[in-house]
Structure 1
């Protein structure tokens, strides 16, 4: 089951840019909770507390239990969208999706590569990861923390696809099984490497070209 955390939130009665600016000036963060066939809730929460929490978790697949003032119990949710400041380390707004026990939800799960490929350690290749998350669908109790895949046996030219992942029971993959996750590539050859491979013999102008002009001198 996925990691779960708790985040305190207050009901927010006003909406609009003016209200949001006042909240941020007071160290608060505007947010909204929606979904689950229930009315949306406008919320606010401590901006710094939220930022520190999000920096410490895998936001895509961590269940955030919102402790909303007046609610009888924490409300389980997933982070759906985070709006951030263009150049400051600051969250501007968060959208939370209300989730329900036994009801399937779509989300993304991080992919973690385990080990060092033989093609890297012994052959000097480069490991390239092209897919960092996997879109899946499952009920909240079945949300994986991470999907691991062993890359130790890969040599240069090898690759792993979605079909090579060990998908937990109850998790439905929402991506083509032929999609490449990672591969081991041969090291790129630089200009310096090519010069080192040359035999060092100078080539005379016109030596190998019968049509080259001949000097009369």
Structure 2
């Protein structure tokens, strides 16, 4: 589809002139490509109609430039635009001039056709993985959209870029293994809750990993051994003290026995003295 758009050349650039231009009911635009760059002003209503009627990046626009010194009519693409985040009004537009005889690269929207996929009817979920595809072709061969028939997809199946229906004169540039659409296996709320619960239990039941735990265990073992050695030393010391005390006690008892043995030694002397006295008598 091709659109007609009128533009006027503007001489002043910058934020101030752009604000003045918007207050006057027009919006600033830039035309670049083919070795030239022009400052333009556009009718915002005409731009909005093009954006609403067709994907902006693929619509061919026949641009008539009033006040141009060279070509008055050019073939362009609406490459980019800016809009007010609050009001949604168009603030600025970038146009790209193209040659109808040279291939270009553009992004084309993906459209899923064929009705509800078989897998979705069985409870599956349709995942639209790629909303746009990058293609290369002549400007006159740009497709409005790339249609993907997903009606026969069952649960677990999908369509890759390499499986897309080829379009004459159009080359797909995305990776061949990329998934465009697929029907995923549904997960029930009970199963999801069970998975989350089991994951939480696993995390709670798992002992925290302590760096150098083995080393700490060895150190603790050494500490116990050292403590054990200390206890043994104390025990040996105590045993030695008890043994020394016992020896000392035995020595004391021996001394006591020796003292008791002295009177027995004196008894013969007393008997000798008594015998001497008897002789005197």
TM-score (ref. length: structure 2): 0.64
Q: For residues 156-198 of structure 1, give each alpha carbon's deviation from its aligned partner in whole angstroms, at most 9, with x where no partner exists.
A: 0001111111222222222101111011012231149989xxx
Q: Which residue of 2 aligns with 1:147?
A: 146
Q: Which residue of 2 aligns with 1:124?
A: 123
The higher-RCO structure (CA 8 Å, 6+ apart) is 1
Q: Evaluate the alpha carbon distance shift between residue 173 and residue 193 of structure 1 in structure 2; reply closer, same or farther with a 3 A threshold.
A: closer
How big is the shift at 1:56? 1.7
Query: Which structure has greater strand proportion?
Result: 1
How big is the shift at 1:29? 0.9
1:44 maps to which of 41, 46, 67: 41
Q: Evaluate the alpha carbon distance shift between residue 139 and residue 192 of structure 1 in structure 2; reply closer, same or farther with a 3 A threshold.
A: closer
Contact 2:66 2:72 in 1 (8 A): no
Matches of 2:29 and 2:191, distance apart in 1: 54
Q: Which residue of 2 aligns with 1:80?
A: 79
Question: Is 1:65 aligned to residue 62 of structure 2?
Answer: yes
Could you list the runs of 4 or more consecutive aligned residues of structure 1 that deviate by over 3 angstroms after TM superposition?
70-73, 191-195
Unaligned segments of structure 1, at least 5 residues: 196-217
How big is the shift at 1:43? 0.6
Q: Which residue of 2 aligns with 1:210?
A: none
How big is the shift at 1:70? 3.9
How big is the shift at 1:19? 0.7
Count of aligned residue pairs for this structure pair: 191
How big is the shift at 1:48? 2.3
Contact 1:111 1:133 in 2 (8 A): yes
Q: For residues 116-135 of structure 1, give each alpha carbon's deviation from its aligned partner in whole angstroms, at most 9, with x where no partner exists.
A: 210012x1111110101101
Question: Is 1:53 aligned to residue 50 of structure 2?
Answer: yes
RMSD: 1.9
How do 1:59-208 and structure 2 match up within 5 A?
59-70=56-67, 73-115=72-114, 116-121=116-121, 123-191=122-190
Matches of 1:4 and 1:48, distance apart in 2: 17
Unaligned segments of structure 2, at least 5 residues: 195-281
